[in-house]
Amino acid sequence: MVPAFMDSHLKTGTNLGRYEIRSKIGAGGMGVVYRAEDTQLRRPVALKILPPGLAVDSVRMWRFHQEALATAALNHPNIAHIYEVSEHNERTSSQWSSSTVIRWEN
């Protein structure tokens, strides 16, 4: 059975803080990844989103943050660079989702 969040999809043009969603890249056990645009720095990024249904789970939130911390500690050209870990509250929901921002290489 496919988790419901894997079928969820943020529409192109949706804004999460300073990031604008361009397209969905994929989904896995820890969230959904989108190609997005950093509208302040005008650069493409990948956003890893822990959907609201999972973000209310404190264990999943902890794992999400641990994954970001572990990845941020690494420095290698074949490993994503973490630029930000944040929480964003959608106006239509009282639940939170977290995003990890990495640089998108074309």
pLDDT of 93 reads 36
The answer to whether 25 touches 34, Cβ cutoff 8 Å, is: yes
Q: Provide mean pLDDT across the span 102-106.
A: 62
pLDDT of 52 reads 75
Per-residue pLDDT reduced to its tens digit, 6-61: 456 789 999 988 889 999 998 887 788 899 999 998 988 888 888 777 778 888 88
For residue 24, give both structure tokens. Answer: 């969905």
Residues 6+ away with beta carbon under 8 Å from 45: 19, 35, 36, 37, 38, 83, 101, 102, 103, 104
Domains and CATH numbers, the chain: 4-103 (3.30.200.20)
Look at the pTM and tell me if it is higher than 0.95.
Answer: no
End-to-end CA distance of the chain: 33
